[in-house]
Structure 1
Amino acid sequence: MPSLEPSAEKAFLIKVAKQQILEKLQLSERPNITHPISRVAVANALRRLDMSKSGTDGRTPIWENAESDEQGYEIISFAETESSGKLKFQFSHTKGQNMQIHQAQLWLHLKTHQNITLQVYQEGHQLGEQQMETKGWHTFSLTSAMQSLFEREEKALYLELQCKDCHPRGISSLTTHTGSAHQPFLVVKAKIRDPGHRVTKRSLNCDQNSSVCCRKDYYVSFRDIGWNDWIFKPDGYQINYCMGECPVHLAGAPGMAASFHTTVFNLVKANNIQTAGRSCCVPTQRRALSLLYFDPNSNLNKKEIPDMVVDACGCS
């Protein structure tokens, strides 16, 4: 097909980029954030998680990139404080999605140096207990509780905090109210298994005079399309695509053929044997797009969306 005019190409690619991202995130429209989380609270949470990466306690960093053969799912959910004092965390679920929880941690902030023993309950069942002495952030593991929640496809987690054998004001030493710079948050790291085989292919980059199969690069800025209010990172989407012709001598070349079948197919054509069909320029290698964004529940999510960025093109 002929090349589009620059303005038409821009409008078309922006439309495609929006459709791809919303479809991959399983959203019908861009989230309307009605209860934005304090920027200070977000910064504190991310800073705390970055610090846990470089810690020496032997824990696996929780805010890290997903492996190449899995779709990563990471979320920071900030607590809403109920009138009963319980902490409420809301989640969105995809029906039938097989999600394996690798790690879930509740983060609570102790305002003063105070020796207390804190217990975390869910519906009367104790999930954890920890002695807290030093001022600052403390964590509770909730991995099994979160796995059960996702398996039951429930949309909210309610937690009750109790102070064991301590002064009645012990709980008040915790920063638990909504809107605080030290608002409690829950970090969940999960994987959605999606095994696949990735083969490295070499590819030509398009220039003004390209006519054979090549990769054309195009960058969509989230700020330019007004999406930077709900997508934190990255700043944009590299929406590359493949274009150009696949003559027989190129379509069967090592590294340019999309598969062994393509190589055989084009050798047959080169020997003038009648065949139906022709080679087309298609993506031969893709990589994931890592997004850090707010969902409609004002939870900060990190997802590795597979097969979003075209790295190489070849002849099918």
Structure 2
Amino acid sequence: MLETEICQMKMRNPTVLAAGVLGSTSSSLNWVARSGAGAVVTKSFAVEPNKGYPNPTTVEVEGGIINAIGLSNPGVEVFKGELEKLEGNVPQIASVYGSTPEDFSMVASQVENLVDALELNVSCPHAMEGCGASIGQDPDLTRSIVKTVKSSVDTPVIAKLTPNVTDIVEIAQAAEQGGADALTLINSLGPGMRIDLETAHPILSNRFGGMSGPAIKPIALRCVYQVHQNVKIPIMGVGGITNYRDVVEFLYAGASCVQIGTAVMYHGLEVFREISTGLEKFMKEKNYQTVEEMVGLAHQQ
């Protein structure tokens, strides 16, 4: 009943570990897979290692978390070793980033044979200059990156988009025109900040960061809804999902599956099985036979 498919990836349920949480090592990714996730996405990595920002990199706020990690990663050579040790019992998606189309293509081509799909991070709101959201706010550059990667790999390509734009539909259509097989909507919102009352200084070392958690869910839902109306490729919905009711909303809005990140930090890995159990019960009560028949129902008149 919960089985679904996206980009030729068969998933036992529509819940996916989002990039950035427990995604740095094979042991943590395997742990998540064994805990009930339908698929997993790695932490974002690039060709060269990146130290990211110094601590503190996260701060809790009402309704979520603000983080500015700075895309820290050990580089593709180290990450390849981790990918080779994945158990492979669920679909595995590598999140990659760079500053130019050639950067993205280089890292993607080195790992495509180790994963089931590639997620292009063109949307991080706290990336170093020239990466992340600064790319995803430019439709022409987004299109070029997707097109360049698609021309160099055979693995499905998913573009992860930023909500921090005037018109996310324009960016989504650019990614589709570039050849993206699917979209992930959305990355964290912002940047935002929090200030220490005692020191009068910003708490994060980078001062600003991207916000995730329940507070951004209405914006994520709106983005999924709008984009679903204007593209033909499937969508992975992400942003503030904590329970099966949130998943149902995203499916109704047009997502084919969902990614979960901050909720893992709040509720632990049990969240995947809890959501799957709740979703299956809901589907039986509503006489839904498949996840697919729920996708986009909010668009029916």
TM-score, normalised to structure 2, is 0.23
Greater share of residues in strand = 1
Structure with higher RCO (Cα < 8 A, 6+ apart): 1
Higher helix fraction (1 or 2): 2
Which is greater in Rg?
Answer: 1
Relative to the length of structure 1, the TM-score reads 0.22
